[in-house]
Amino acid sequence: MNQEEIAAMREEYGSRELHSADMATDPIVQFEQWFNDARNAQLHEPNAFTLSTVGLDGYPESRTVLMKFFDASGFVFYTNYGSAKAKEIAATPKAAILFPWLPLERQVRITGSVEKVSSLESLKYFASRPRESQIGAWVSDQSSVIDSRALLLNKMAELKAKFKGGDIPLPSFWGGYRIIPQRIEFWQGGKGRVHDRFRYTKDNKDTKDETPSNNWLLERLAP
């Protein structure tokens, strides 16, 4: 495929418009509405998002992970605490995430700080995972260099035998992180690339006369 063919790849957006009157006062309520729309549209893995962190070498790093819970306190995912992203978060506990719901001509961008969830939260989620996924958490020394896939499969077989007939304990090196949002942007594709963008920014001011409802400031952005 040549440069001209790639440059010509485009789809026209504009199946709907987004107005300030459409936006909830609370961005978490707005997110829940859009997330439910994505689920009802039967999008593939609507809880998948791109997680971007600051690499230890200063370069940005991105990968796709799965959101497992969200509420007013933030957005939760789980991983190995020895993974590259965990080390990056330990060094710089800030992240940006992106939900790309492209069939709905929508995306949600979230930026905020990151903290570990409690051990109790991690245990509760770990216990809900399929047994093979629980074993998988024990198998992988995530992000480390390995010689072959066969090593992973052999370790998987060993752990299946070890834990046969019993509960699988939560690994001490595995658990959750919560992204605490500071900014949340909702993007709706628009006709002629005149997209609709609304950004909520957490208002940390103490002055009541300048603090918007629910401590969030809502602004429309140019596309």
The verdict on residue 93 lying in a domain is yes
Does any domain span residue 123?
A: yes
193 is catalytic: yes
Residue 145 resides in a domain: no
Structure tokens of 38? 């994505």
pLDDT at 76: 98
CATH code for the domain of 111: 2.30.110.10
Q: Is residue 101 part of a domain?
A: yes
Query: Residue 57: what pLDDT?
Result: 97
Query: Which ranges of the chain have pLDDT less than 50?
Result: 207, 209-213
pTM beyond 0.85: the answer is yes
**Domain carrying residue 95:** 11-129+171-221
User: How distant, in Å, are the alpha carbons of 31, 110, 126 from that of 181?
Assistant: 12, 6, 24
Closest CA to 186 of 156, 220, 217: 220
Enter the DSSP assignment of 165: T
pLDDT of residue 208: 53
Looking at the chain, how many residues does it have?
223
Domain count, the chain: 1
- Pick the catalytic residue from 63, 131, 193, 220: 193
* Position 37 in a domain: yes
Query: Has residue 179 been placed in a domain?
Result: yes
Per the domain annotation, does 138 fall within a domain?
Answer: no
CB atoms within 10 A of CB 71: 10
DSSP codes joined into one string, 59-124? SEEEEEEE--EEETTEEEEEEETTSHHHHHHHHS-EEEEEEEEGGGTEEEEEEEEEEEPPHHHHHH
